[in-house]
Structure 1
Amino acid sequence: MKHNAPVLRGIVAALALAGALAANAAEPLKANVIHWWTSGGESAAIKQFALAYDQAGGKWVDNAIAGADQARATAINRIVGGDPPTAAQFNTSKQFHDLIDQGLLNNVDAVATKENWGAIFPESIVNAIRINGHYYATPVNIHMQDWFFYSKPAFAKAGIKGEPQNFDELFADLDKLKAAGLIPLALGGQAWQEKITFDAIFADMDRDLYLKVYRDRDANAVNSPAFRNVLTTFKRLHNYVDPGSPGRNWNDATALVISGKAGMQIMGDWAKGEFSAANQVAGKDFGCFPGFKNSPYMIAGDVFVFPKTDNAEQVKAQQLLATVMTSPGPQAAFNQRKGSIPIRPDVDTSGFDICAKEGMAIMKDKSRQLPNPEMLIPPDVQGALQDVITNFWNKNQSAEDAQKAFASAIKS
């Protein structure tokens, strides 16, 4: 894709700001960055930001902590304890709003204004990072958490000739995979994975009901027969996972699809990083589809927040990080490896795979954009609902009882 003149001016301005920030520091601007990207594909992605930051005059100090919950807890403990990192990863959600309320984060308004974030980024992303008129987080990607990935060899072995177009065809294909002696659905049996699988089914079945439940927290919607049907359809998937599912990490589930031992996985597009690390090519070795025809594109992603500090060098480092992470070049290099799509539309797309290109095309249709639950409900409510879903998935509980538990949790 060729950049037009305004885009070129934007890139030049971004690099000028980065250069000015770095030039003002006698020493490289050291940035201690906490994140949870530790799998093969994730590590390859975050290294692109580290390299770009160092090339811009900084010194990236990597602080990778396995597990999102553990990484966020470490960041919060360090912030509250007076030893804050330069930047810390959170999801594009309400997870960091308590830190804002307590005055524990610096804003990056100077960078956001210079880069015109409000006009460049999607509205849902802007709404997630601009709080009370200030930009408190730097978005680095747009993930969609309910992609269906499948093994081309596994589908061929099971005699499946095309992608399922609806739930009837999906379950028919899962039956064929089981009959072929394969694991039909590769699922990592962890609470967060079970919850995003549920949300994938929910969004594909009834977008309007999804919004009534998560955005409006409508008790009548939760208690409806339609929502009970969502629960029943979700639990039906349990017939297609293998006994080794409980406790399995998401990337180990992806590895089953990569090896052809499993037919399919419902996972965020970060899974593509694992396929890439295994030298598999989308459309050749594996396939992908973002739900069924005209399904909503559930927006998720990652941001970095910047803990409060009065240290002038650290403030410069934070602003340099915000500039580098959102610049077109690093955006392309990072997202190609991460499996996500860029947060800005003026990035060269030639190096992206067919899945990413489909996602970018869908994002142009605002009517298909759907916030993920964590952008609509507080973290404590999300946690309570996750407990309800994992309990329903793993125990012999009726859909009616799960429905009651869900209704109670969403009111909390």
Structure 2
Amino acid sequence: MTKALFGAAAMVALMAGPALAQEPLKLEVFHWWTSGGEAAAVQEFAKEFDAAGGQWVDTAIGGSGSTARPIGINRIIGGDPPGAMQFNTGTQIDELAAQGLLRNLDDVAAKEGWKEALPPAFYEAIVRDGHVMAAPVNNHGQNWLWYNKALLEKNGIAEPTTWDEFFAAADKLKAAGVIPVAVGGQPWQLNLMFNSILLGEGGKDLYMKVYKDLDPAAVTSPEFKKVAETFGKLRDYSDPGNANRDWNVATGMVISGKAGFQFMGDWAKGEFVLANQVAGKDFGCILGPGEKNFVMGGDVFIFPKLKDEQGTKAQDLLATVFMSKDAQVKFNAKKGSVPVRLDVDNSQLDACAKIGVEVLQDPAKQIPATDILASQDVVQSLQDVVGEYWATPTMTADEFVGKWNDTVAQAK
């Protein structure tokens, strides 16, 4: 009997030992990826993390980053931080980093060669006081124009490469009873559309003077005024229901053929993919119209300081997974973005992503997003100005220019 009990105890120990040794590294991940395409993409990271020995605990907040970020920030400040939290690439993490609430990822970044793998602007965007403070996960082109290929072909419209061609196409769609441009009338969406015009029509030099230098003379220039007039003209090609429309709803209008075009970052492509549409066949994509550049935005994850060692180990594992070549390809294929690493195999990317990757080969065309160039006070305030201009058809371009410069002066 003693031998039997000993044997049973040994068997229990053998069974329990590996289970205890293989207990997954659990980590709560806070993000706002809740649309169909986004949810499918984030599951790729979750699967990779779980396969590597982690346990992804998902906290997804519906809406946009402007809705979710305050919730997560309050948790961090209040002493109940998630293990990892999504931010947009750029200055949004400055305050938390300055308050010493975030872990640095220097060891992981050095071990995995992040500096060598990232575009210089993206590496600089995650460094504060010489320390790596976030893990980048994607490179989102913000200045894309998406269109329904069948709809354009039906109406005898070729892909527009200039703004004159675009408005001619929009007039044809309008005459055919189709909404030319699907617009989500939220300030951040409108600002993306405005910036697409600014870069395509005004060029890189004007864009950088306006956002990096905050140059009032650039804003009062005839070139900037023309950009404002072009943006205002787009009101006539939207529909009355655009106010506060979510971006993915607007994308759905293009997918269904209710609308012809949408100005939106390449996360919109995830919705096309989810609808089983193929880039270059069912939908088309243009960096522009006008000057062809790639506005580099994206997402990063910060890692708040945790009290338990297991949580810290889980953070290191997740940071490693985020930047692994395999996970980068799988996630970005569904997210619509391109891998943030420059050293991954891009051969399996779709037609639109290949356009983006080709443009990114020229460092002169790697244009930092506004979140990287300017403070959040400036960025948010200017988004509101753009939103007000869109919602107020009686506001002139000259009045808009004045409000822009006044806002910059107050936000500095």
On whether the aligned pair clears a TM of 0.5, the verdict is yes
State whether structure 2 residue 78 is matched by structure 1 residue 84: no
Which residue in the other structure is 1:249 paired with?
246
Per-residue CA distance 1:217-256 (angstroms, 9 max, x = gap): 1111112222111111111111100111111110010001
Which residue in the other structure is 1:223 paired with?
220
Rg comparison, structure with higher value: 2
Which residue in the other structure is 1:184 paired with?
180
Distance 2:308 2:28 in 1: 14
Could you tell me which amino acid in structure 1 is paired with residue 61 of structure 2?
A: I
Could you tell me which amino acid in structure 2 is paired with residue 407 of structure 1?
A: N
Per-residue CA distance 1:61-115 (angstroms, 9 max, x = gap): 0000012122211110110010000000000010011000110100111110001
State whether structure 2 residue 200 is matched by structure 1 residue 204: yes
State whether structure 2 residue 189 is matched by structure 1 residue 193: yes
State whether structure 2 residue 128 is matched by structure 1 residue 131: yes
The answer on whether the counterparts of 2:199 and 2:291 sit within 8 Å (CA) in structure 1 is no
Which residue in the other structure is 2:138 paired with?
141
State whether structure 2 residue 286 is matched by structure 1 residue 289: yes
Q: 4+ residue stretches of structure 1 with deviation over 3 A? A: 23-26
Which residue in the other structure is 1:29 paired with?
25
Q: How many residues align?
A: 389
Per-residue CA distance 1:380-407 (angstroms, 9 max, x = gap): 1111101111111111211111111100
Distance 1:169 1:84 in 2: 50
Which residue in the other structure is 1:410 paired with?
408
The answer on whether the counterparts of 1:294 and 1:368 sit within 8 Å (CA) in structure 2 is no
Q: 2:261 aligns with which of 219, 242, 264?
A: 264
Q: TM-score, normalised by structure 1?
A: 0.92
Q: CA RMSD in A?
A: 1.4
The verdict on how the C-alpha distance between 1:368 and 1:377 changes in structure 2, with shifts beyond 3 A counting, is same
Identity score, percent: 51
Which residue in the other structure is 1:399 paired with?
397
Q: TM-score, normalised by structure 2?
A: 0.92
Superposed displacement of residue 156, structure 1: 1.6
Query: What secondary structure sits across from 1:298 in the alignment?
Result: strand
The verdict on how the C-alpha distance between 1:24 and 1:296 changes in structure 2, with shifts beyond 3 A counting, is farther
Query: What secondary structure sits across from 1:265 in the alignment?
Result: strand
Q: 1:303 aligns with which of 297, 300, 303?
A: 300
Q: 2:331 aligns with which of 331, 334, 350?
A: 334
Per-residue CA distance 1:153-189 (angstroms, 9 max, x = gap): 11022210x2112111111111111111101001111
Distance 1:344 1:26 in 2: 31
Query: What secondary structure sits across from 2:184 in the alignment?
Result: coil
Q: 1:168 aligns with which of 136, 139, 164?
A: 164
Structure 2 regions of 5+ residues with no counterpart? 1-18
Structure 1 regions of 5+ residues with no counterpart? 1-22
Alignment of 1:60-75 (within 5 A): 60-67=56-63, 68-75=65-72
Per-residue CA distance 1:306-343 (angstroms, 9 max, x = gap): 01224211111111010001101111110000000001
The answer on whether the counterparts of 1:142 and 1:341 sit within 8 Å (CA) in structure 2 is yes
Which residue in the other structure is 2:47 paired with?
51
Distance 1:404 1:355 in 2: 37
Query: What secondary structure sits across from 2:85 in the alignment?
Result: strand
Per-residue CA distance 1:257-309 (angstroms, 9 max, x = gap): 00111111010000010001000001111111111365221000000000122
Alignment of 1:335-350 (within 5 A): 335-350=332-347
Query: What secondary structure sits across from 1:163 in the alignment?
Result: coil
